[in-house]
Structure 1
């Protein structure tokens, strides 16, 4: 099979299209014929070594989120059969590229996968697992603060994958949502059902005070300055400690795979209750160019690699 491996640490140029052995399904596993794999900033960070727990020894396969069809089933797997449509998240924080999703086939633990409803195509489905689970789990941290009903929450990066899901899920949870949009993307963000759209150039401290901030960019101190005293800030990457005088609670949201949650979120996207979007698709061998586009920024939606 063909895969795209990071042959060394560095920029997009380290990604190489490589012939790899076809994987076999071990106990509790299925082999997925990958049809779509989402390109995340986390994939770009893996190739530069700027990830938690330090760089991964090369060569390795990037790629968290895959959608495709079951090609073979290993011993002990009863819930999937050959030909079933599936979507799932490789817990890359644990596999660290063995396996990764940038390949024609992936031997995946059955627990990583859920069934893909017929109403949802492979490409948009591949944008859901990492982004939507991160958003949902980050909002659970907000809910632990026991904010009053109707409390306000500022979501930074609402034009992006995690921020877009966080804004929608916060609306579902009953928060008054202020969502920050990228330039020329206000219409999309407003369509997520938020109460107010905040410009990327806005003075965030002046936007508040809000009860909570979901910092999906993350912006750091500028976003935290919008939260009221004894409020809460949840960030998706480590940010500098806040000045403790105001009693603001600071939390870091790192993804953990939750199969039941993933099935619910995928079902909501399939039913149209949650929205996602794709900026462009590119064939798997163009993974290096996809990484360049992510680094350049300005994408309105996710890049997805498609696999023949």
Structure 2
């Protein structure tokens, strides 16, 4: 089968299309024929060695979120049958690229996967697992400090995580102020916030808000918007806020939750949560996809489609 490996640490040029052995399903696993794999900033960070717990030694396969069809089933595995449509998240923080999703097939533990509803196509489905779970779990970190009607600033609401945070928080009854990329205000407005904040706005003047979900993250600029004794949740480590202000800071790191993922996928399939695909590209053009992510300004997720 074809796969795309990071042959070294560095920029997009380190990604190489190569022939790999086709995987076999062990007990408790299925082999998934991948129809779509999402390109995340986390994949770019992995190839440059800028990830938690230190860089992964090459060669390795990037790729967290996959959607496809079950091609074979391991002995004694009853969760899925050949031909079932599935979507899931390879817990890359554990596998560290062995396996990863940039391939035509992957041997996946059944706990990584959930059924893919017939009404949801492979490409948009592949944008859901990492982003939506991160959003839901990060909001849970905020919930002990917030009441319905409290104000929540979401940075990066044009992005995958920020977009899901905006929707889930609005549905939860918070007063959401969503920061949109320039030119993307209409999309963000459609996610249900009470107010859309321009990317150029000085966030210190937007607040004070009860909490900030710093999905970019912006760090100091986001911290300037939160009220004293408020709370900030970020998706990557950010500088400490002046301890005299009493602001609680939390770091949201993904933990795969199969039941939660199934619920979120069902909501997307039912139109209760929105996601978007900016472009689909052949798996063999993974390096170009990484270049586009690094350039920024992509309105949605880039999804690779193996042949």
**What does residue range 40-79 of structure 1 map to in structure 2 within 5 Å?**
40-79=40-79
Offset at residue 76 of structure 1 (A): 2.6
What residue number does 1:103 align with?
A: 103
What residue number does 1:196 align with?
A: 195
**Aligned equivalents of 2:35 and 2:180: distance in 1?**
30
**What does residue range 63-212 of structure 1 map to in structure 2 within 5 Å?**
63-145=63-145, 147-212=146-211
Structure 2 residues not aligned, in runs of 5+? none
SS in 2 for 1:31: strand
What residue number does 2:275 align with?
A: 276
What residue number does 1:302 align with?
A: 301
**Aligned equivalents of 2:201 and 2:76: distance in 1?**
54
**Aligned equivalents of 1:246 and 1:76: distance in 2?**
56
**Aligned equivalents of 1:15 and 1:144: distance in 2?**
43
Offset at residue 29 of structure 1 (A): 0.3
**Aligned equivalents of 2:38 and 2:20: distance in 1?**
20
What residue number does 1:34 align with?
A: 34
**Aligned equivalents of 1:43 and 1:251: distance in 2?**
23
Offset at residue 221 of structure 1 (A): 1.1
**Aligned equivalents of 1:149 and 1:263: distance in 2?**
25
**Aligned equivalents of 1:271 and 1:149: distance in 2?**
25
**Aligned equivalents of 2:67 and 2:121: distance in 1?**
9
**Aligned equivalents of 2:267 and 2:24: distance in 1?**
32
What residue number does 2:223 align with?
A: 224
Offset at residue 117 of structure 1 (A): 0.1
Offset at residue 307 of structure 1 (A): 1.2
Q: Given the two structures, how large is their TM-score scaled by the length of structure 2?
A: 0.99
Q: Which 4+ stretches in 1 moved above 4 angstroms?
A: none
**Aligned equivalents of 1:172 and 1:44: distance in 2?**
31
SS in 2 for 1:245: helix
**Aligned equivalents of 2:298 and 2:16: distance in 1?**
24
What residue number does 1:261 align with?
A: 260
- 1:14 maps to 2:14: yes
Q: 2:5–2:16: 8 Å Cα contact kept in structure 1?
A: yes
Offset at residue 245 of structure 1 (A): 0.7
Offset at residue 79 of structure 1 (A): 1.4
Q: 2:148–2:172: 8 Å Cα contact kept in structure 1?
A: no
Offset at residue 77 of structure 1 (A): 1.3
**Aligned equivalents of 1:104 and 1:71: distance in 2?**
11
SS in 2 for 1:18: strand
**Aligned equivalents of 1:149 and 1:294: distance in 2?**
35
What residue number does 1:4 align with?
A: 4
SS in 2 for 1:154: strand
* Aligned Cα root-mean-square deviation (Å): 0.5
Q: Given the two structures, how large is their TM-score scaled by the length of structure 1?
A: 0.99
SS in 2 for 1:132: helix
Moved more, 128-137 or 70-79: 70-79
SS in 2 for 1:165: helix
**Aligned equivalents of 1:256 and 1:46: distance in 2?**
18
Q: How many residues align?
A: 307
Offset at residue 224 of structure 1 (A): 1.0
**Aligned equivalents of 1:137 and 1:177: distance in 2?**
17
